[in-house]
Structure 1
Amino acid sequence: METNQLLFFLSALGAFNGFILSFYFAVNARNKIFSNYFLSLLLLVLSIRIIKSVFFYFNPSLSNIFIQIGLSACFLIGPFLFLSLKSYAQNGKTKWIQHVIPYLGSITILGFFYPYTQHQKIWSIWIVKSIYLQWLVYIILSFRYVRPIFYKLKNKESLKKIDIWFLSIYFGVVLIWLAYASAAYTSYIVGALSFTFILYLIIMLLIFRNNDESVFFKEKEKYKNKEMDAEIRDLIGQKIVIIEEKELYLNPDFSLEEAAKELKITKHLLSQYINEILGKSFSNLIKEYRIEKAKKLLETEKNLTYESLGYDSGFTSKSTFFTAFKKITGLTPAEYQKAYSKGV
């Protein structure tokens, strides 16, 4: 009896706090962090799904209408995860109608013509399976927006606060999906408990993010008290231009390790030089090289599409190219090309 009460408390608490956190993000959303709107909605639909699971587990005679609402909310978990990550990656608003309206329409039509109260078998066999399949598809589609974070991990670069933040959200949703997808082999309540765990992890990250005294998100002072020798600094300064001269940055998978090998210096020294002397990260340095290449192509090539221009500059996707170009130059590729043409 006490075990059941503890399970109920932990599971319901996660759902309750999910509603609170959803409201927090909705209130604090701004145009510059448009992804917060989608994050708020993601937490909302997850909380609805979880609270349905909690009450159904402890009260199987739960109203069928409530069950239908909880299952319907699942239709929007995947889309809101995708939109949240995409809007952040593209640094602003994103097209959301095609990812939301069709599913809202589907929920309405299914609820009207096939209500759960009268068609439990159809919901259990077909609709629920479709929901989890659609959720999985959006998890896969969303991976492209957290993939750059894995490149940073691969290159042993420091992660930003926001990188850890969105990585936690992504894997949190994946874990909850796995919990529900495997519920037939474990327990139905595992999904709710997973949500509680993930939610408190996210809350902890939020607290750390806003706490300047926290060491959790502080960038490590890797090279403190380890000043670089002037002779070594000058040597690296002479060698680093090789990356630009040989256009090594055009390799989409070009890493700090490969750069150090090409320049015949240790990875540690190269990283220290870029961080201390140039005042930037390795990934930002490579992005700047790629943008300079893209600018030259925009000035000389008239028949290239912007997508192929991004690939020719070393970027792995159109979205990452556009985001980096806008961030570094303050203009879109089209705006830059137009401004250059007028100047000529």
Structure 2
Amino acid sequence: MTDTTNRTLAAFGAVLIYASVIAYTDNYVRVIARDAGLWQFHATRTAMAFAILALVALPLSLKLWPKRPRAVMARSAIHGAAMVIYFGALAFLPVAQVAAGLFTAPIFVLLIQRFAYGRPILGLQILAVVVGFVGVVLVLGPEALSGATFAALLPVISGALYAMGNIATREWCEGETPETIVAGFFGMLGVIGLVGMAVLWAFPMEVPVGPEGFLQRGPVWPTGEFMWWTFVQAAGSLLGVGMIVKAYQIAEASRVSVFEYVILPASAAWGFFLWGETLTWIAVAGMALIVLAGVLIARPQRVQPPIASRQ
């Protein structure tokens, strides 16, 4: 009993580090967005992440080459698309709201498994889908409901793609090491970034000044601030993913998946301390419902769906 308790507490500590680091670094995407574009950010961050992986691969005996290259590539493409949308939304929306959209992924996992694989939605999971949907509606707010802005829906689209990637992780990538999946994920983001830079270099668009031009901005000469915060992003992402992988290795997935929701208050807290952002009580209630949906989904069932983590 003591060993189990200690491992659960250690897992919670790892998740807390993950949430604190990721929530902090994601809050600075708006700073990155002032000086460069989304595509240059992803290409640069991947180069920095690979440099860090190269330095630690031998000392840590990391296995980076996939057993099923096509499967890892396909999974990376799905997750890569999810994170391109996620980071694009960070330039316009509070981190807590974007994170809430991403953490709708377990709800979409249930729906995809039901309609694509014919697996039943069991017990309280049906209630979880309803509760989670209500939570998303509250977090998105009246603008999204009235159709006034597409940007508010982007985090939920990211969550849906992330759910597909999580299912692909289990269905296609069984037996792959965590570092292989992480390397494939960063590699795909780098490729997407390079393609986006090439397209916008060949066909430049009119770019608004500041964060509003994040999506349309092609390659530019990087500023010192851009390079620093992109490096912080790369290092923070590797540390965060390492912590969340460790958490799933030392404790039950059903418990860790619930712990992951600590990133929602962590994002809101960093948004308040760094930028003075506050959330409405309706948005806070929506986040609470999304967390409740995650708890219900994570309850032990005969069929355990994959959870959402930023890997």
What interval of TM-score do these two structures reach, taking the shorter chain for normalisation? under 0.3
After TM superposition, the score normalised by the length of structure 1 is 0.25
Larger Rg: 1
